Amino acid sequence: MGEFDLIERFFKRPARRADVGIGDDCAVWSPRAGHQWAFSADMLVEGRHFLSTVEPKRLGHKALAVNLSDLAACGATPQAFLLSLALPRADESWLAGFSQGLLDLAEAHGCELIGGDTTQGPLNIAITVMGEVPQGQSILRSGARPGDSVYVSGHLGDARLALEAFRGHVSLPQSVLDMARLRMETPTPRVALGQALRGIAHAMADISDGLLGDLGHILKASTVGAEIELSTTSNLMAVSDQWRCPADLAMTCILSGGDDYELVFTAPESATAHVQAAAVASGTRVTRIGRITDSRQLVLLDASGRVVDAQFRSFDHFA
Amino acid sequence: MGEFDLIERFFKRPARRADVGIGDDCAVWSPRAGHQWAFSADMLVEGRHFLSTVEPKRLGHKALAVNLSDLAACGATPQAFLLSLALPRADESWLAGFSQGLLDLAEAHGCELIGGDTTQGPLNIAITVMGEVPQGQSILRSGARPGDSVYVSGHLGDARLALEAFRGHVSLPQSVLDMARLRMETPTPRVALGQALRGIAHAMADISDGLLGDLGHILKASTVGAEIELSTTSNLMAVSDQWRCPADLAMTCILSGGDDYELVFTAPESATAHVQAAAVASGTRVTRIGRITDSRQLVLLDASGRVVDAQFRSFDHFA
């Protein structure tokens, strides 16, 4: 199977919104008036971002999901993506699974694969995704203001829990491991919530490197601080319902786990009802975990409001 | 040096055309009315697309050049790009050279680095580039018509000659090797020519996999054939002036060498003067090498007009 057959067979779909899709030197697209474009790129490397044992279908899902999560974090509506893929060899059953997971998620979000590249090399998946946002309505990291509430979407920490289990640092009941692994391997990008928060959230980021690290990006860009109430975060893991995680491990997983692909955002107290409505409209759980301060510091508070002295580093690929 | 320091230090520049550049979850960009967008992505893998001994500065140049070449092939004006980079380690001197070569070429084309990703892994450079083209003026592969002249830009075959020398298949005088190597390592994307050919060329592609293979894409997309006059192609190598390449090797390098990043395009005979004017205006040599036929076949003709029986395969990463 050659390079062009491979693309034709596993990745090419009829162009829809694109004027020109896969098959020319470039894809061509006519932007809509009154909208800005949002662009993001993420690269996944075997052994670093995923285990070599992951099901190809789940990997295809995740590769696009982590990119859609960045669009969600800006409140953008997914439009199209390009896929550059280095493969050790053209393995048909791998490609069938990978492309299915990838294109099923793309289809679910109306996000069109319009181009890319395939080559031989150590497994590497690089996606660039494009979304549309009405002029002036993108939600940036820099808009948080003192007094804003801080919220997170969905569940946090399960992906890290699965990783700790794979590393042999914790032993989990099979059903708990399966659930945590599913969260690690097939994250749900919060695209509908991101769009629903346009005009409501002041600042937003996606949580890929851990809650505190990604909230830290908002604080830095907005030159503000935050107080996080640990009583509100302690039950954020999806597995909490069926398994009691040791408190220290739970704190690590939830606060600095990484690979969550949830949203952390801020909104004024006056918008509390709008935030709740956005959560309901998008079918996404939202939890208030603290508030923005003018202190320039990120402070953790225990149930009695005392400052907890803890160091949680977020993930850095070259640290 | 952490991931964020690395980006800050080597890759971040102030946003210009971008509304939001590097540093948020997405870049944000306001498209101009009356224009379409062209998108392309190319991935470079060590040992496959470049030798491990290549100077980092040249590699930075090449990584962007091969992408700009795709925009050129559509007649698009470069606007912005995203870079995803997997590195075995954060080597400062490598990064300094690579980013300089990359950003110098970006600067020369007014093409802004607006985002991307960095991670640890086997060296892999994935770029997605975006360009603008006035509505309806992109030059596709599908527009060639019988009777069109076929042209190529610049020089062909030198990159392949350098590769053959590195493989030990041919021995070259040092000055010839240096020149061929420069063509291989720092190709010149024909961006100005591509834009100058808007409204003139019927069909265009860039030559990355070899002249015959990439011309073949035009023929297939346009459901036409072509006759190529080998007398017009025999001196297309840049090194021809100073070194006499054996005829068989020259033919292989020129017709199916690959890694040229020149343009192959067709235009009606009535536009000959316009093609020449576009070549002059863009400072790019253009050579007429044959014509489009309605035969659906790609035929090579010798100096006396006889059909040459030759098989030249273009490069395929999985063949």
Pairing of strands B286-293, B298-301: unpaired
Q: Average model confidence (pLDDT) for chain B?
A: 94
pLDDT tens figures, B20-63? 999 899 999 999 999 999 999 999 999 888 888 899 999 999 99
What Rg, from alpha-carbon coordinates, does chain A have? Answer: 20
pLDDT tens figures, A234-288? 999 999 999 999 999 999 999 999 999 999 999 999 999 999 999 999 999 999 9
- A86, B45: Cβ pair inside 8 Å? yes
In angstroms, what separates the C-alpha of A123 from chain B's closest C-alpha? 9
Q: What is the pLDDT of residue A47?
A: 86
pLDDT tens figures, B72-128? 999 999 999 999 999 999 899 999 999 999 999 999 999 999 999 999 999 999 999
Q: What is the pLDDT of residue A315?
A: 54
- A121, B122: Cβ pair inside 8 Å? yes
What Rg, from alpha-carbon coordinates, does chain B have? Answer: 20
Here the tokens at position A107 are 């289809």
Residues of B in contact with A29 (CB under 8 A): 36-39
Closest Cβ opposite residue B206 in set A25, A27, A126: A25
pLDDT at A317 over 60: no
Residues of A in contact with B143 (CB under 8 A): none
Other C-beta atoms closer than 10 Å to the C-beta of B3 total 18
Q: Give kind and range of the element (H or E) at residue A206.
A: strand A203-207
pLDDT at A1 over 80: no
Binning chain B into helix, strand and coil, the percentages to the nearest 5 are 35, 25, 35
The DSSP result for B107-153, as a single string, is HHTT-EEEEEEEEESS-EEEEEEEEEEETT----GGG--TT-EEEEE
Q: Does the beta carbon of A19 lie under 8 angstroms from any beta carbon of chain B?
A: yes
- Suggest the residue from B9, B25, B42 to mutate for an interface test with chain A (most A CBs closer than 10 A): B25
Interface A:B, Cβ pairs < 8 A = 239
Here the tokens at position A93 are 């059953």
Backbone angles phi, psi at B14, to 5 degrees: -60, 140
Residues linked to residue A116 through DSSP beta bridges, in sequence order: A83
Q: What is the pLDDT of residue B316?
A: 55
Nearest to A155 by CA among A317, A287, A290: A287
* pLDDT confidence tier of residue B15, bands split at 50, 70 and 90: confident
Closest Cβ opposite residue A41 in set B46, B117, B131: B117
pLDDT tens figures, B159-195? 999 999 999 999 999 999 999 999 999 999 999 999 9
Q: Average model confidence (pLDDT) for chain A?
A: 94
Other C-beta atoms closer than 10 Å to the C-beta of A138 total 26
Q: Does the beta carbon of B134 lie under 8 angstroms from any beta carbon of chain A?
A: no
- A122, B122: Cβ pair inside 8 Å? yes
Closest Cβ opposite residue B124 in set A19, A30, A124: A124
Exposure string (b/e) for B40-69, b if CB count within 10 Å is 16 or more? bbbbbbbeebbeeebebbbbbbbbbbbbbb
Residues of B in contact with A20 (CB under 8 A): 138, 140
Q: Which long-range contacts (CB under 8 A, 24 or more apart) does A307-313 make?
A: A308/A230, A310/A251, A310/A255, A312/A210, A312/A212, A312/A251, A312/A252, A312/A255, A312/A256, A313/A210, A313/A213, A313/A256
pLDDT tens figures, A157-211? 999 999 999 999 999 999 999 999 999 999 999 999 999 999 999 999 999 999 9
Q: In chain A, how long is the greatest CA-to-CA distance? A: 64
Q: Does the beta carbon of B144 lie under 8 angstroms from any beta carbon of chain A?
A: no
Query: What distance in Å separates the CA atoms of residue B43 and residue B27, rounded to the nearest whole number?
Result: 21
* pLDDT confidence tier of residue A74, bands split at 50, 70 and 90: very high
Q: What is the pLDDT of residue A313?
A: 53
pLDDT at B245 over 90: yes
Residues linked to residue A287 through DSSP beta bridges, in sequence order: A152
Q: What is the pLDDT of residue B48?
A: 85
- A24, B141: Cβ pair inside 8 Å? yes
* pLDDT confidence tier of residue B295, bands split at 50, 70 and 90: very high
Q: Does the beta carbon of B29 lie under 8 angstroms from any beta carbon of chain A?
A: yes
pLDDT at A26 over 60: yes
Q: Does the beta carbon of A256 lie under 8 angstroms from any beta carbon of chain B?
A: no
Q: What is the pLDDT of residue A311?
A: 64
Q: Does the beta carbon of B73 lie under 8 angstroms from any beta carbon of chain A?
A: yes
Q: What is the pLDDT of residue A316?
A: 55
pLDDT tens figures, A30-50? 999 999 999 999 999 998 888
Query: What distance in Å separates the CA atoms of residue A15 and residue A21, rounded to the nearest whole number?
Result: 5
Closest Cβ opposite residue B3 in set A41, A204, A317: A317
pLDDT at B314 over 60: no
In angstroms, what separates the C-alpha of A303 from chain B's closest C-alpha? 32
Q: Does the beta carbon of B296 lie under 8 angstroms from any beta carbon of chain A?
A: no
* pLDDT confidence tier of residue B12, bands split at 50, 70 and 90: confident
Q: What is the pLDDT of residue B18?
A: 93
Q: What is the pLDDT of residue B154?
A: 98
In angstroms, what separates the C-alpha of A137 from chain B's closest C-alpha? 10
List C-alpha distances in Å: A280 to A273, B36, B129. Answer: 11, 37, 38
Q: Does the beta carbon of A52 lie under 8 angstroms from any beta carbon of chain B?
A: no
